[in-house]
Amino acid sequence: MTVTVNGPLPPGSYDVTVVGAGVVGCAIARELARRPRLRVALVEAQDDVGQGTSKANTAILHTGFDAVPGSLEARLVREGSRQLAAYAAESGIAVEPVGALLVAWDEEQLAALPHLAEKAVRNEYGDARPVDRPELYEREPHLGPGALGALHVPGESIICPWTTTLAYATQAVHHGVELHLNSPVTDVSWRDGTHTLTTTRGTLRTRHLVNAAGLHADTLDRHLGHHDFTVTPRRGQLIVFDKLARDLLHHILLPVPTALGKGVLVTPTVYGNLLLGPTAEDLDDKWATGSTAEGLALLREKGARILPALLDEEVTAVYAGLRAATEQDDYRITAHPEQAYITVGGIRSTGLTASMAIAAHVTELLAGTGLDLGPARDLGPVHMPNLGEAHPRPHQNAQLVAADPEYGTLVCHCERVSRGEIRDALASTVPPRNLDGLRRRTRARAGRCQGFYCGAAVRALFEGSRA
Amino acid sequence: MPPFRIRPAVTRPAREVDVLVVGAGPAGLAAAARLAVAGVARVEVLDREQQAGGVPRHCHHGGFGTWTHPLTGPAYARLVLAAAARAGAVVRTGITALDWAGPSALNTVGPQGPETIHAAAVVLATGARERPRAARLVPGTRPNGVYTTGELQQAVHLHGQRIGTRAVVVGAEDVSYAAADTVREAGAQVVAMVTELDRSQTTVARTHNARLRHRIPLLTDTTVTELLGHGRLSGVRVRHRDGRTVQLVCDTVVFTGDFVPDHELARRGCLELDPGTRGPAVDGALHTSRPGVFAAGSLLHPVESAATATREGVRVAAAVLESLAGAEWARHTVPLLVEPPLRWIAPNRVAPGDDHPYVLRTSALVNRPVLQVVQDGRLLHKEWLGTAVPNRTLTLTAEWTRLVDVTGGPVRVTLTER
């Protein structure tokens, strides 16, 4: 199993190299791992997988009911949704099928609901149905006053986005994919049937190239002479509320999209928090992942209308992510057979849901660029640690604690993370490189105290493992 | 509640004790010591940390103990722990009280596995924490190098970890100066202390010592508006009340004070909370709204000194003893409310004859104020204070409580300028 973080990249040529270890790049690498004859590399600029757009999304497993019917995105979300639900169940990725309510707050939004229901049917989703005002308040008693009705979409779920990305990467690495972190690609050239990638860790050669560089997909595309699209980072700020707020909400509350934009949502997370956001700010800076006073004030104002009691609860985290918006709404997945090159661009917030279907689609396109995929195999399963509250956490499993008392020794008290889980994460196939990586893998320090109680102890465990 | 959130059945061994105390800080340990001395056979204290002693464990500064026996935090923690153990209380560390299993029973977990502990009385002494950066909604990036005092002190004093080289301390109250001391002990420089108020909120001596001896600038009327830097903190942007902004170059920032009670068990037990303290509402005998459940320490008033917590532990023990002896739980009490600029008062329910002083906090500085206690338009008490300073303790005597009419409306406390 190969995961590298420093030193020169390996010599020799790969059959396929995927640039970008976000949820999409990792899914593609995992899909290619089913082809034992291929030598595959996954190259990532940052020191961990899922560090770009993938780590700061709203963590929803969509049905695709509101996609543009007939679009590539609609198909891939629909297929990917089913595939990921099954994969999550098999791999231990936390999912909760809570269902969504699109809440109408004015007549215009109310009038839009039947159209959305029809659109859902055209997207092959038949379970959306209108909910009148009394039923809406019965379902969500803490909803702010003034809602007129809603569309219920029972198939929408919440999912752990970090575990998903990590599961793909782990399974890919288990099956021979070589993961190279800390390797930003600064240039690419195509000559005599070989791509030469220049990275800060030296060059890497590959016959076929997949661009899953997310926010930087347009830059990589231009190195190969394509000017098909421009990525405009769209910043989404989000506020995470303490899990003591969890009982205020039962469904994902989605805004009704109108001419004025998409609005903000309130959703439970699988970790038992409530999430409020995102904002939608088009920016120039692909590193502008800071929150702003204006953004937070806007979210609080919207949140006060949707779920007034939420604002009395403690905030456990604020974060901002950049979505890879392009000039078009649909995904930009393009094969360039003459260069043995596939661009996977413009993957918007639905990318998490669609990731497995995108991977299958990209693999087909690769075959069309002259790649002999060779025979396929079934992958051995991965078993990821459960970070969700809907299933027993390790400390709640009496047999597990009896077998290994480290699972009963809690270190992070707010999130109830045991020393055993931290130990396991530190020894995992794709281990964390810093405390943030450890937090994403275990939830340690992700709770309401943000390290007041456990921060130093968690850091000591992390540093002890590297000493 | 949707069905999928139902927890799987866990077979838990069950056990009974007389009194179960949650939290082995000064309040919990003092309560346990007093109860054990009074002859209660099975007094058990749980703490989720590996070491008992609570927050004083990592307060490596003086100011604990008494005038005649001054102590550091860790020495004080050892003292209260030794007293509880000597008296015969069982102190179990590394055990987390997860949730309620009955009216006065808790589910716990530790290395030995899950357990349900039933008790005749439960004392919640779960303490308080500082609000971290996110809860204060300070905008900016999410770099490393962002601390609360609690994390900073543990990093430096318990684990010997390196912090950065240049730190900004947010706050100018007692705990902020303790944080500044810890920064200096770790070999780093305090670039500035920043407070939104117009003055520091500690003693004159301490303010002068920091400014003149350690040359730490104090920026008053100033707010931290943004954290900067990717990976490691590179600076903080601050704004003065007059609109001027400046960027302070630093690699560490410590958010101090702004304490909130750690009230998870109280909330999961549906205890009535006081809107001011956000801790459980209690009367003068430290009864919560849940029969058999008492509360003490910083959970009730985020935060007061360890000495106050210890005194409260002793006081709650007396109430627990009465309860064990069969005293009626339902006392007749009325709410005790504060009006702005007061933020909170504790205890916050009152019965005639409650005889322990109250602690209060103000959100604004009031010079030479008068404190008045009124019920249904009837003045029960009036007293003149020195200056009322935010983040500093104000106290109110209890001698007026015998005048309270339990059939009347809430008792209100006001703070006004003379």
Residue B171 has pLDDT above 60, yes or no: yes
* pLDDT value at residue B6: 44
Residue ending a domain, among B275, B309, B329, is B329
**B38 lies in the same domain as B111:** yes
Chain centroid to CA B316: how far? 16
pLDDT tens for each residue of B270-281: 999 999 999 999
Q: What is the CATH number of the domain that holds B291?
A: 3.50.50.60
B139 and B230 share one domain: yes
**Contact state of B133 with A450 under an 8 Å Cβ cutoff:** yes
List the CATH number of the domain containing B357: 2.60.40
Nearest to B81 by CA among B128, B25, B123: B25
Q: Is-contact A5 A197, C-beta < 8 A? A: no
Give contacts of B267 with chain A, Cβ < 8 Å. Answer: 244
How many C-beta atoms surround the C-beta of residue A261 within 10 A? 9
Determine the pLDDT at residue B329: 84
Are B12 and B68 part of one and the same domain? Answer: yes
Name the residue facing B4 among A96, A410, A448 (closest C-beta): A96
pLDDT of B418 above 90: no
Same structural domain, B180 and B117:
no
Judge whether residue A433 has pLDDT over 90. yes
Q: Are A17 and A40 in contact (CB under 8 A)?
A: yes
Lowest mean pLDDT among A7-21, A251-265, A293-307, B260-274: A251-265
Residue among B192, B201, B202 nearest B222 (CA) = B192
Q: How many domains does chain B have?
A: 3
Last residue of a domain, one of B274, B298, B329: B329
Does residue B373 share a domain with residue B267? no
pLDDT of residue B243: 95
User: What is the percentage of chain B residues whose pLDDT exceeds 90?
Assistant: 92
Distance between CA atoms of A3 and A1, rounded to whole angstroms? 7
The candidate with the shortest Cα–Cα distance to A20, out of A61, A53, A59, A58, is A53
Within an 8 Å CB–CB cutoff, is residue B255 touching chain A? no
Same domain, B92 and B107: yes
Segment A208-222 shows an average pLDDT of: 96
Percent of chain A exceeding pLDDT 90 equals 91
pLDDT for res B124:
98
**A62 flagged as catalytic:** yes
**B225 and B114 share one domain:** no
| Per-residue pLDDT at B10 | 54
Residue B360 has pLDDT above 90, yes or no: yes
Question: In this predicted structure, what is the pLDDT of residue A259?
Answer: 65
Same domain? B76 vs B59: yes
Residues B65 and B209 in one domain: no
**Cα–Cα dist A74/B31, whole Å:** 63
Cα–Cα distance measured from residue A250 to residue A241, given in angstroms and rounded to the nearest whole number: 15
Contact A455 B11 (CB under 8 A): no
Name the minimum distance, in Å, from the CA of B196 to any CA of chain A: 17
Asked whether residue B275 falls in the same domain as residue B357, the answer is no
Give me the amino acid identity at B233. L
Beta strand A178-180 pairing with A40-43: parallel
Range of the domain at B266: 3-129+259-329
**Length in residues, chain A:** 467
Identify which of A81, A157, A129 has the alpha carbon closest to the alpha carbon of residue B4. A157
What confidence tier does A57 reach under pLDDT thresholds 50, 70, 90?
confident
pLDDT of B186 reads: 97
Q: Does B247 touch chain A (CB under 8 A)?
A: no
Question: Residue written as tokens 């990305």?
Answer: A165
Q: What is the pTM of this model?
A: 0.95
Any idea which residue has 């055209």 for tokens? A122
ipTM value for the complex: 0.95
Residues B129, B278: Cα–Cα separation, whole Å: 12
**Contact (CB, 8 A) for B19 and B49:** no
Token pair of A221 as six digits = 């595309």
The residue out of B234, B255, B276 marking a domain boundary is B255
**A window 112-131, beta carbon within 8 A of B:** none
Query: B246 and B269: one domain?
Result: no
**Ramachandran region of residue A277, left (φ > 0), alpha (ψ -120 to 50) or beta?**
left
Q: How confident is the model at residue A407 (pLDDT cuts 50, 70, 90)?
A: very high
| CA distance to partner chain A, nearest, from residue B141 (Å) | 4
Q: Where does A271-384 show beta strands of DSSP type E?
A: 274-277, 281-282, 315-325, 332-336, 341-345
Same domain, B28 and B125: yes
